[in-house]
Amino acid sequence: MRHISSSALLVAVLIAWELGVLLSGVSPLVLPAPSAVTETLWDGLVSGALWQHLWVTGAETLLGFALGCVIGFLIGAILAEMPRLRRLLWPYVLASQVVPKLALGPIFIIWFGFGMTSTVIITALICFFPLLENTITGLSNVPQEKRDLFRMLGATRLQTLLRLKLPTSMPVILAGIRVAIVLALVGAVVGEFIAGSKGLGASIIAAQGMMDTTLIFALFILITLMGLFFYQIIVVIERRILQSRQKGTF
């Protein structure tokens, strides 16, 4: 029922938008009609012009996401296990989190050149922090009694990490991954604004140059759909992991 009302709302908004554009005679440069956007999107997909950009942005998103998550998780785990190192580095971790990562784009272009590498690195940097923070939070917030239990049982440090801390903090770490996948797409698209010649973000900049507002809207829809797709995949994987945790794989 809720789905039906939500869909009905969307249809209503689209109809109002179409009629509004039609009746007001506003220029498609300012606001294209939904029908025109759909047509542009369809043409782009059928002719194959959009697919290569979709592919590039998708690859950048996933590569940056994987890189940022793995490094964020590993460094988070190291800092959580070494409180003295964490206290030493924490102010810098916090400071670096506040730095607008996209503002580093120009430097990355100087270092790594114009193109995919720079975009992947910007994306990885954006994904790095939610994983770092959630890993540290999760691993450090295991209840004292359970840690005492493992001490009483003579568990080694590695056993405590693998068999108590990681499974306990798994939901928090997975929440970080869910945040990261959304940020990854933002990172890739906006990274392309700065450093890309291919991809959906670069196409938006190109379309802006050609004053092709309709194409910008079409790209916008494509990016949204891709984001939803990635997010759903992560949610499914998350559910699988939490289930397998309960079956004793961890």
Partner 1 sequence: MVGRSGCGKTTCLKVAAGLLAPSSGSIKIGDSPVDGPSSDVGFVFQTPSLLEWLTVIDNVLLPISLKGSVNKSDEKFALELLELAGIKHLAQRYPEQLSGGQQSRAALARSLVTSPPVLMMDEPFAALDALTREDLQDVLINLVEASGTTVIFVTHDIGEAAYLGDKILVMEGGLITHEVEIDLPRPRASDLRYEAHFSKLCRKVRSAMLLGAGQC
Binding site for partner 1 (CB under 8 A): 143, 145-146, 148-155, 159, 163-164, 167-168, 245-246, 248, 250
97 or 159: whose CB is closer to partner 1? 159
- Return the structure tokens found at 86: 């964490």
CA-based R_g, the chain, Å: 23
Please, which residue, 90 or 250, has the CB nearer to partner 1? 250
> Shortest gap between Cβ of 177 and partner 1 (angstroms)?
18
Cα angle 58-233-6, degrees, rounded to a multiple of 5: 100
Q: How far is the CB of 174 from partner 1 (least distance, A)?
A: 13
Shortest Å distance, C-beta 70 to partner 1:
23
Task: Please state the closest distance from residue 171 (CB atom) to partner 1, in A.
Answer: 10
Q: Which is nearer to partner 1, 151 or 239 (CB)?
A: 151
For partner 1, the closer of residues 43 and 148 by Cβ is 148
Closer residue to partner 1, CB minimum distance, 87 or 151: 151
Residue 123 or residue 169: which is nearer to partner 1 going by CB?
Answer: 169
Cα angle, residue 237 at apex, residues 236 and 240 outer, rounded to 5°: 90
Instruction: Find the Cα–Cα–Cα–Cα dihedral 70, 76, 80, 85, rounded to 10°.
Output: 120
Taking CB atoms within 8 Å and a gap of at least 24, the contacts of 46-53 are 50/203, 50/218, 50/219, 50/222, 52/198, 53/198, 53/199, 53/200, 53/202, 53/203, 53/219
CB-based contact 187:64 (threshold 8 Å)? yes
- Tell which residue, 225, 208, 195, has the closest CA to residue 41: 225
Q: Kindly state the smallest distance separating residue 169's Cβ from partner 1, in Å.
A: 12
CB of 141 to partner 1, least distance (A): 15
Three-class secondary structure of residue 199 per DSSP: coil
